[in-house]
Amino acid sequence: MRMAKKGTRWLGALLGVVLGLSWGCGGDSKSNTTQEVVADNGPETPDGQEETGQDVENPDPCHASSEYLVGMGVSDITGPAADAGLMGYAQGSQHAAGLFMRQWAKALVVVSPCNGKRVLIVVLDTQAIFQDIHTELVTALKTKYGDLYTLDNVILNATHTHSVPGGAGRHSLFNFSPIGGFYKEVLDGILYGTLEAIDQAHESLVPGGLELAVGELTNASVNRSPDSFAANPEWITSALPDKIDPTNTVLKVVSAEGKEIGMLDLFAVHTTSVAARNLLVGPDNKGLAAHWFQEEIARRNGGEEGFVAAFGNTNAADMSPNVDGFSFEHKDGVKDYEDLWKSAQKQYQSALDLYDQGGEPLVGGIDYRFRYVKFDEFEIDPAYTDGKPRKNCPPMSGLAMMAGGKIDWPVIEDMRN
């Protein structure tokens, strides 16, 4: 799939999303997965030859196709709003004591009839995507849909909010204080709600099209580890002079009759506007931005509901939403919501501007790639070690992880970056 008249593989760049957000320097060999949607454009064009996008002897039926089946769905995945340990800051006192906003699963199905392939993308208001969520979800989908949705073409994207109940995975590394272990009620809530959203998307498939708009949002994130970023190779630091990734991408989903079905926004920033003293369950800045977007489209359509706005995350890394800095006095669990409001407003307005300006139609067939990466055997170039070939270590939690960041939540005062 590519931009019309461009011949480039834009959807690969758009949807090459990491399956889950995790910690540690290694990781379980089966829980480290990468997944992307790529163009189905036939063989690569040899250097020096004009790209036609098709083999003359074996024409690609998807070369110029802009016909798709599209559908979106949304369902509640809110976890326990009382007493459950909130995941993200690892603060023993952070147990849920109420609800700010509900958590949602938002599903998008795209089918290319020209080759019969499809992809399922789900944005979830969760802190991370664990292997348990992915495999159990795909198992349930197989029971209902056979081989339509598999590990290969199901992409799950966590918004990475730090204000929702934890315990949805069975790996002990992620279930320490304040979570206290695996929490089946949290996992079941995510699975049941996500399946409902997928059912809605699957059952609402209609002929439609996709438009892609790409812009920049420069005032909604700040690098919380600038010294560490400066240690990167020059080709990275020169490409990102502000030490952030400002790219904001909007995928517009429209039926063949012109009905607006939904949208997917992808922007790199942590959902840590509210900090570790917050006790209310909620999806943080991306959840509020999505809520506002849906309200605006409903307003434009005379109050008609049904439009689905999904605000996903990408390379959040050290991209913090706390552009005005950090203080314990301000991050008291109440004033935090001023920061959340500001961050959500910036993301919402940027996405709305891109959505309204319209994007380039996407053409070509759907295809996808999926693989497991065994990180504890991943070889490290000697240029990044002590000069000797090294491999990653097994999963572990060290002092650097517990230190926190000097903008989002500095736990150990003497440790920085």
User: Catalytic amino acids?
Assistant: 320
Structure-block tokens of residue 312? 């996903």
Q: What is the C-alpha separation between 73 and 200, in angstroms, rounded?
A: 5
Partners of 104 in the beta sheet?
Answer: 76
The enclosing H or E element of 277 equals none
DSSP string, 69-121: EEEEEEEE----SEEEEEESS--TT-EEESBSS--EEEEEEEEETTTTEEEEE
Q: Which residues contact 70 (CB under 8 A, 6 or more apart)?
A: 108, 109, 110, 111, 205, 206, 207, 208, 209, 210, 253, 254, 255, 261
> Backbone dihedral region of 280: left (phi > 0), alpha (psi from -120 to 50 degrees) or beta?
beta
Q: What is the C-alpha separation between 105 and 353, in angstroms, rounded?
A: 24
| Spatial CA neighbour of 375 closest among 390, 391, 388, 396 | 391
Q: What is the C-alpha separation between 183 and 21, in angstroms, rounded?
A: 19
Q: What are phi and psi of 298, to 5 degrees?
A: -65, -40
Identify whether the C-beta of residue 125 lies closer than 8 Å to the C-beta of residue 87: no
Regarding beta strands 365-372 and 308-312, do their DSSP bridges make them parallel or antiparallel, or are they unpaired?
unpaired
Partners of 124 in the beta sheet?
Answer: 105, 158
Straight-line distance from the first to the last Cα atom of the chain, in angstroms, rounded to the nearest whole number: 40
Tokens 């998307």 sit on residue = 201
Q: Which residues contact 371 (CB under 8 A, 6 or more apart)?
A: 33, 34
